[in-house]
Amino acid sequence: MRLPSSLARPARTAALVLAALTAAPALTGCFAVVAAGMGGAAMSATDRRSTGSQVDDQAIELAAANRLRKRYGDNVSVSVVSYNRRALVYGQVGNDAAKDEVVRIVRGIDNVRDVIDETEITTSTPSLGTTASDTLITQKVKLSFVDAKDVFANSIKVVTERGTVYLMGIVTAREADRAAQVAAGVSSVMRVVKAFEIVSESDLANLNATRPADPVPGPTPRN
């Protein structure tokens, strides 16, 4: 049954709240990198990255989680999300030395071509309630992109940490500004960080024109 338009948004918001509260326990802990980055692991036909870049991004996120966990255990609360081989590092570290070393570790991972350091030096880490709120904000921003119509939602990765929304993707300057404007208008968003890879309108047109077609699935093997 289709809900009346006056009821549709409250119903969607309630569903997002429930999803956030359900997901929150799984997102706690110091290394949320797998939950933050690998949630979009399936290859997307509308992604502006090449298939190779998408595969590399997943490998970068997994390698970062493993190396940071091996080095620090539970002593830092850091997440790493990669988009087109550009690694966004965010979360909390105890001091300048740890901050520098985290960046150095991530920079040393194969195929990483740039590191965006957004780590914060602090001894406090997000509470369960904050993590749930961040999850909800991320979903609300994504929904707002879809509702906006003029934002190519599938080309933008969204992650949130303590009310700060990080936006990644291959976009034009116009698209970046519009996406940031929409995200900033979402309730509970404290700050928006544009971690985009900016390309020209002509480069974007060429990128879309040269994107290879998806392969035709082969026959299903018999048992």
User: Do residue 115 and residue 193 come from a single domain?
Assistant: no
Distance CA 31, CA 37 (A): 11
User: Do residue 138 and residue 173 come from a single domain?
Assistant: yes
Distance CA 193, CA 198 (A): 14
User: Do residue 113 and residue 153 come from a single domain?
Assistant: no
Residue 140 has pLDDT above 80, yes or no: yes
CATH of the domain at 199: 3.30.1340.30
Percent of the chain with pLDDT over 90: 70
Distance CA 158, CA 161 (A): 10
Q: How many residues does the chain have?
A: 223
From 89, 121, 153, the end of a domain falls on 121
User: Do residue 117 and residue 98 come from a single domain?
Assistant: yes
The per-residue pLDDT for 21 is 47
- pLDDT band, residue 1 (cuts 50/70/90): very low
For residue range 18-66, list pLDDT tens digits in order.
Answer: 554 444 443 333 444 443 555 455 566 689 999 999 999 999 999 999 9
Domain count, the chain: 2
From 60, 91, 121, the end of a domain falls on 121
Residue 130 three-state SS: helix
From 121, 144, 169, the end of a domain falls on 121
Residue 95 has pLDDT above 70, yes or no: yes
Domain that holds residue 40: 29-121
Tell me the pLDDT of the chain averaged across its residues. Answer: 84
Contacts of 210 (CB under 8 A, 6+ apart): none
pTM of the predicted model as reported, rounded to 2 decimal places = 0.78
Burial class (CB in 10 A: 0-12, 13-18, 19+), 121: exposed
- pLDDT band, residue 207 (cuts 50/70/90): confident
In a domain, 163, yes or no: yes
Residue 178 has pLDDT above 70, yes or no: yes
In a domain, 13, yes or no: no
Which long-range CB contacts under 8 A does 135-139 form with residues at least 24 apart? Answer: 135/19, 135/20, 135/23, 135/24, 135/27, 135/160, 136/16, 136/17, 136/19, 136/20, 136/188, 137/163, 137/165, 137/186, 137/188, 137/189, 138/165, 139/16, 139/19, 139/20
- For 142, how many CA atoms within 13 A lie in the half-sphere containing its CB? 18
The per-residue pLDDT for 74 is 83
Q: What's the angle, vertex CA 181, arms to CA 175 and CA 183, rounded to 5? A: 100
In a domain, 189, yes or no: yes
User: Do residue 157 and residue 112 come from a single domain?
Assistant: no
Query: In this structure, are strands 191-194 and 164-171 parallel, antiparallel, or unpaired?
Result: parallel
Neighbouring C-beta atoms of residue 203, cutoff 10 Å: 12
Distance CA 62, CA 80 (A): 9
Token pair 């990198």 in the structure block, residue: 33
The per-residue pLDDT for 34 is 42
The per-residue pLDDT for 26 is 39
**Cβ atoms 193, 166 nearer than 8 A:** yes
User: Do residue 171 and residue 100 come from a single domain?
Assistant: no
